[in-house]
Structure 1
């Protein structure tokens, strides 16, 4: 059925690239599914041009029937979900503040259009807490960084840049990028991330021992402290979006990246509502900003 779903999405969006992004596939996978569908029906369905696609004469004749097949399949899926209790299911997520604030509201709003009676329970923590909650079953799945977890399945979501957060009066605040060597002796206000920290790894790789002054779990509190000139921090670009604080956020030199992923033990053993939401998030990962 995936071949028909993919074909319908390619035609609807008019692009292999856009369809791949919407479905969470690679462009190569989309192309292979269309080729397989054409082999199955025995006719060419799509003509591929530069940056656009058009239906062949045979494709135009078959497309309305494929549209109906896809619509019927989605109706069947919804009925199966109702039978399995997804219509009133509970989705338990281990999350982090930036993802809760930036990604989840829009995703949930879209998901609820299809499943309006599903409930969400958030456990907000850090990489270590989310990993522990997943292992103990306190949450169904959670936001993790792959290097920090073991014995767990992960689906990559996005790579985020970490930025150096400074008081506007700091000597480095006017630079385009802040060398880590300039921060070696300044008070470091570190966000609590459990037993794995990308900034600490970056400092160690540069043979620098930072002057760790404060360790705090709250991003807002950290930005307030930087605003009061109590030190610098290194935070995700995702956290810093739409923040009202009087601070400067600049790339580090060398750059520091944070890889975010969905983590879970056994997807097939999770409640159906959580399985659906994992698939939903994975399919929209290219839209996450």
Structure 2
């Protein structure tokens, strides 16, 4: 590969060596190539920078004025190259990540922990909120990668989806519940149960597929916060639907039983990236780690099931 140096770096080398020939040797150019680059800089600035002597060259007054400015340009270029190298080698840079709440229970923090171990110098900025919010941020260029679900009906024009896993659903039962020993349940088995839900409308919750099929849970309590939902279930006030990604954060006095996928289908989880844009090395590395973590979570199941 041919050496590449800015015109200012060539100028500084010639000024230091006081010789076009010596500068050419130091830079890995021919003497004529160095001469042409000096002439190009002189033409660009409209002044002569060197007096050509029988033996070597000497800075003109204009060359002496340019000298500290050229040194500043050289230093800034060196700093820029170092930062660009850091981005390329994952020795620096910024990664902007967003995720919906239950992805932040295990999938995202485990991925971040592994990513930080491998690339400790990459800074990570994180946002939380709904999948819709993060898809909008991604399309606007304000995120590098987002972990999302519930993409039906969303505007995905500015995003590319990378499938991570299909997330099963569980029903959370109070300890000692008659159905707690079952390995799998149908919603018909829970027809007489009272439910703790985030809304009185099943269509606005994880129960939407079941509601569309005609199942209408008896909602006893509307509770938005997931920690509070667990408290209600543990106290025997009802049962609730739980996505698998949140299963590892469930308190010990709650039992999880799989819901048959014909009743509540598995939910697709994706990593989304901006469409049509090149991925940074940090984004590509984080995506790879997300896939690895998703595979581990799928294999192990909640609480090592």
Deviation per CA, 1:24-58, whole angstroms, max 9, x where unpaired?
Answer: xxxxxxxxxxxxxxxxxxxxxxxxxxxxxxxxxxx
Alignment correspondent of 1:227? 234
Structure-2 residue corresponding to 1:108:
112
Q: Which residue pairs with 1:93 in the alignment?
A: 97
TM-score, normalised via structure 1 length: 0.59
Deviations 1:83-131 (A, max 9, x none): 6695332222221344333233443333234422112222222333333
How many angstroms apart in 2 are the aligned matches of 1:126 and 1:109? 22
Which of 256, 260, 282 aligns to 1:273? It is: 282
TM-score (ref. length: structure 2): 0.57
Gaps of 5+ in 1: 1-77
Higher RCO by CA contacts (8 Å cutoff, separation 6 or greater): 1
112-121 or 229-238, larger mean C-alpha shift: 112-121
Q: Conserved in 1, the CA contact under 8 Å of 2:165 and 2:269?
A: yes
8 A Cα contact 1:224 1:245, kept in partner: no
Compared with structure 1, are the counterparts of its residues 272 and 190 closer, same or farther at alpha carbon in structure 2 (3 Å cutoff)? farther
Q: How far 1:251 sits from its partner (Å)?
A: 1.5
Alpha-carbon contact 1:198-1:258 (below 8 Å) kept: no
Determine the structure 2 residue equivalent to 1:145: 149
- Aligned counterpart for 2:250 among listed residues 220, 235, 243: 243
Q: Aligned in 2, Cα 1:258/1:168: closer, same or farther, shift over 3 Å?
A: same
SS in 2 for 1:154: strand
Cα distance in 1 for residues equivalent to 2:117 and 2:106: 19
Aligned equivalent of 2:5: none
In 2, the alpha carbon distance for the partners of 1:138 and 1:79 equals 21
**Aligned partners of 2:246, 2:223: CA distance in 1, in Å?**
14
1:173 pairs, out of 175, 180, 185, with: 180
Q: Is the 8 A contact 2:187 2:263 kept in 1?
A: no
The 8 Å contact of residues 142 and 262 in structure 1, kept in 2 or not, is answered as yes
User: CA offset at residue 155 of structure 1?
Assistant: 0.5
Listed one character per residue, the Cα deviations across residues 39-80 of structure 1 (whole Å, up to 9, x for unaligned) are xxxxxxxxxxxxxxxxxxxxxxxxxxxxxxxxxxxxxxx996
Counterpart-to-counterpart distance in 2, 1:274 and 1:86: 10
Hey, what does 2:125 align to over in structure 1? Answer: 121
Distance 2:133 2:219 in 1: 22
Any idea what the Cα deviations from partners look like across 1:115-149, whole Å, max 9, x if unmatched? Answer: 22112222222333333333344432211126434
The structure 1 segments of at least 4 consecutive aligned residues displaced by more than 6 Å after TM superposition are none
Answering whether residue 202 of structure 2 is matched by residue 201 of structure 1, we say: no
When structure 1 is superposed on structure 2, of 166-175 and 249-258 the one drifting more is 166-175
Q: Does the CA-based 8 Å contact 2:83-2:92 persist in structure 1?
A: no
